[in-house]
Structure 1
Amino acid sequence: MLTTRPRGTADILPGQVENWHYIENVAARVCREYGYREIRTPIFEHTELFVRGVGENTDIVEKEMYTFQDRGERSITLRPEGTASVVRAYLENKLYAGPQPVKAYYIGPMFRYDRPQAGRYRQFHQFGIEVFGAQQPAVDAEVMALAMDFYGRLGLNDLELHINSLGCPECRNVVREKLQQFFQPVLGELCANCQNRYARNPLRILDCKSNRCTELAREAPTTTDCLCLECRAHFDQVQQYMQDLGIPYVLDKRLVRGLDYYTHTAFEIMAPDIGAQSSVGGGGRYNGLIEACGGPPTPGIGFALGLERILLALESRGKLPDIQAGPVVFLVAVGDRAVRESFSLLARLRAAGIAADMDYQGRSLKAQMKYAGKLGVRYTVIIGEDELQKGSVVLRDMTAGSQRDIPADQIISALK
């Protein structure tokens, strides 16, 4: 139907979009203070980028991508996440030739064909950061600190930060073998998805939400149990930095991420009271991703936070700000001469940086005042024949209910 939006999408209406601006402005401010600069990448990319970058065995690539052929018969995909696109931009634009590390952030829509639920849509929005070219554990801590600082500035101080280490590829091979040995006797009891994961990526079994799989995996080996000496030392230093910063965290040995490119530090941020899917964002290190996309070996780390989930968390805690969305001043004109004078004054008010509007439907004085009340303006400026003759206007404070006459040439300074 022409009057129905596609399933899994949402209209962000006037009165709602101001909350989005608020979150985006806080994100931009905290990123600037941490030395991150904005990057904007295309909404669609060549499909191969996500197959190689995200991982061909992930649920995203296998089930959730919006993929189509363009008129040149090229396979194109709407971006399901932001990191692969930023990696491609880093390589294509030779950002590796400049000062390292490169610290970037993005805000924008992503697309996944998934089952819609509270705070999760098929078109959704993410705020994410990426750091390329820095291996030190302090960078891992900075990335998580930035995320928690961002939430703190929004007033979300009760979220839980869960962290784990997924180790290097050698560690992953060890845990892969141990998990296959562990699950082999009960393979037939796993859900169909986990039976498929058993051969390709048994680590994902630990992330299954099926009650039976969760029960069977309770005593399974974890990545933390299989870390090599170098990976363990890296993770120990990350935790020490977090403790130095005074940022509380939960060591979650069963935390795995849904994308194949993660190595070493992985983390997720939880808001348990916003629905069955409690995560409001997460991220981690991906030291092999740039190389997998055709670049030189380059360490990387980042996160992505879902804006819809953040809005849910803010709303559930009563933390959404009271934002003046419409005009601050409404001009009420009575009579043709007053309408013309108001229209000229309207332009002068706007030029002075004052958000203002006026009636365009020929309403009566009473109806204009009622409409101004519905708009929630702070002030009305009333102009009629008497005011024109006296060279004045009536300035009414809609909150206090008081009003006074002001010379017409002083109204801008009075409002300012």
Structure 2
Amino acid sequence: MTDTSASSSPLHAFRAPKGVPDYVPPESAEFVAVRAALLEAARRAGYGHIELPIFEDTALFARGVGESTDVVSKEMYTFADRGDRSVTLRPEGTAGVMRAVIEHGLDRGALPVKLAYSGPFFRYERPQAGRYRQLQQVGVEAIGVDDPALDAEVIAVADAGFRSLGLDGFRLEITSLGDDSCRPQYRELLQEFLFGLDLDDETRRRAQVNPLRVLDDKRPEVREMTAAAPVMLDHLSEAAKSHFETVLAHLDALGVPYTINPRMVRGLDYYTKTTFEFVHDGLGAQSGIGGGGRYDGLMRQLGGQDLSGIGFGLGVDRTLLALRAEGKSAADAARVDVYAVPLGGDAKVALAVLAARLRAAGVRVDVAYGDRSLKAGMKGADRSGASIALVAGDRDLQAGTVGVKSLATGEQVDVAVADVVNDVLSRLG
């Protein structure tokens, strides 16, 4: 008889949920470097940090993002909590930032309110390369001033973040989605065109609710039918046209290259006026690595003042893939600078103290633990990527020295224990 009790059966091997990536060493160093570089570009432009909740009231996203969008209608992770309240894992950052600005009265102080954030966002969609159900983004929002120069700054911050990583195979596509004075007329014009086409029922419903969504349809047959559709850029009000032209003039002055894309449609309903996307052709059909735009009217819609705003969300995962497509790395392959190999009990204590002193001086240091042999310890040093190894046995310490070895040349010299920290700092420059 076969024993099927839990005690004799093998343990279940758990795996991460589908579409949710793990970032583990050494690849995680690149993930951290990309996120840090994108945030640093925002910090240098005066954007303060905001930490957002992972989940919010579902109505915040339904109202803020738009119930007609695929994000709200198909992709949100929504559930009832123990208090039977409907909550949703955040699918994007702007609505949450706007809620926080209103709740904490940040819009009552100096304007614009400039905020930056990073972290995971959640969308239920078919997982594929660089497009996950838990996606990582860096975002900024500048709220309270409708100034084309601010639009250009936001775009330039994203551009600078990508370039600081050495990425150069991307391009900025930009357009204007108009304002309240011209969007209603354009909507009617577009619907008149779309309703004259032989659309399937679902696409016709989409054209009724939000006709711009149809222009974003990726199916070849739909794209062919809508190739001659009117575009917003040809129907801008004078104010919206002037705003867009001024944004472009500022980008020219800042040296930020761009391509005007009249057919661009973003996946969120709140965008108005300036709208943009960064794309990288090395990623194939899913070429977007980030984007954003202006969202005048969103704060009012969420119960706050009638203040304008503009922001972006940049994909950390997508940027990593773009770097790899260009054969580039964002991080130093070395995990540490110095690797200590103690050979004896007294040596463990002495090298642990030296490691602590070097770490306090800003040096990355690891130690070989577990009573390893010299050969095993040096293998660990090679795997760590360190440029220097500290080697000492109890006899070396009795003589008052530690071996300092260059892992590039193999040369090793004995250095007095009291001088090791300064010697290592000098070698590392």
Alignment TM-score > 0.5, same fold: yes
User: What residue in structure 1 maps to residue 359 of structure 2?
Assistant: 350
Contact 2:138/2:316, CA 8 A, preserved across alignment: yes
CA distance in 1, matches of 2:255, 2:341: 55
Query: Which moved further from structure 2: 267-276 or 208-217?
Result: 267-276
Q: SS of the residue aligned with 1:125?
A: strand
How is 1:155-304 mapped onto 2 (pairs within 5 angstroms)? Answer: 155-188=166-199, 190=200, 193-304=202-313
Q: Letter of the 1:160 partner, please give it.
A: R
Give the CA deviation at 1:388: 2.6
Partner of 1:372: helix, strand, or coil?
Answer: helix
Percentage identity across aligned positions? 44
User: Which residue is equivalent to 2:154?
Assistant: 143
Aligned twin of 1:46 = 57
> 2:111: which partner in 1?
100
After TM superposition, the structure 1 = structure 2 runs for residues 375-414 of structure 1, keeping only pairs within 5 Å, are: 375-414=384-423
1:66 aligned partner: 77
Q: Distance in 2 between matches of 1:37 and 1:169?
A: 30
Pair 155,5 (structure 1): closer, same or farther in 2 beyond 3 Å: same
In structure 2, the residue matched to 1:327 is 336
| Alignment partners' CA distance in 1, 2:380 and 2:43 | 41
Cα deviation code 1:163-195 (max 9, x no counterpart): 11111134221122112211212243x4x5422
Answer whether contact 1:18 1:325 (CA < 8 A) is retained: no
Separation in structure 2 between the aligned mates of residue 283 and residue 151 of structure 1, nearest angstrom: 15
More moved, 289-298 vs 230-239: 230-239
Matches of 1:326 and 1:371 in 2, distance apart? Answer: 11
Deviations 1:386-416 (A, max 9, x none): 3133111111111111011111221111111
3-state SS of 1:117 partner = coil
Deviations 1:301-342 (A, max 9, x none): 111111111111111112213515533222222233333433
Structure 2 gaps of 5+ residues are 1-11
TM-superposed deviation, 1:264:
0.9
Q: What TM-score, normalized by structure 1, do the two folds share?
A: 0.95
Q: Distance between the aligned counterparts of 2:225 and 2:197, measured in 1?
A: 8
**Contact 1:118–1:275 under 8 Å retained in 2:** no
Question: Is the contact between residue 327 and residue 357 of structure 1 (CA under 8 Å) also seen in structure 2?
Answer: yes
1:75 to 82, 86, 96: 86
Q: In the alignment, what sits opposite 1:113?
A: 124
**Against the structure 1 CA distance between its residues 413 and 56, is the aligned structure 2 distance closer, same or farther, given a 3 Å change threshold?**
same
Give the 3 Å change call, closer, same or farther, for CA 343–149 of structure 1 in structure 2: closer
Structure 1 46/337 Cα, relative in aligned 2: closer, same or farther at 3 Å? same
Alignment of 1:125-140 (within 5 A): 125-140=136-151
C-alpha distance 344-250 of structure 1, shift in aligned 2 (>3 A): closer
Distance 1:322 1:108, change over 3 A: closer
How far apart are residue 385 of structure 1 and its match?
3.9
Using a 3 Å threshold, how does the CA distance of structure 1 residues 406 and 316 change in structure 2: closer, same or farther?
A: same
Computed over aligned residues only, the root mean square deviation of the Cα atoms, in angstroms, reads: 1.7
Superimposed CA distance per residue, residues 60-82 of structure 1 (whole angstroms, 9 cap, x where no aligned partner): 00000000111111100000000
- Decide whether aligned partners of structure 1 residues 360 and 66 sit closer, same or farther in structure 2, where only a CA change above 3 A counts: same
Aligned counterparts of 2:255 and 2:356: Cα–Cα separation in 1: 52
The residue number in structure 1 matching 2:5 is none
Q: Which residue of structure 1 lines up, in the alignment, with residue 424 of structure 2?
A: 415
Conservation of the 8 A alpha-carbon contact between 1:338 and 1:385: yes
Over 3 Å counting, the alpha-carbon distance change for 1:194 and 1:100 in structure 2 is same
C-alpha displacement of 1:2: 4.4
Aligned to 2:4: none
Alpha carbons of 1:338 and 1:165: their partners in 2 closer, same or farther (altered >3 Å)? closer
Aligned in 2, Cα 1:100/1:275: closer, same or farther, shift over 3 Å? same
TM-score by length of structure 2 reads 0.92
Partner Cα distance (1:327, 1:244) in 2: 42
Relative to structure 2, which stretch is displaced further, 248-257 or 289-298?
248-257
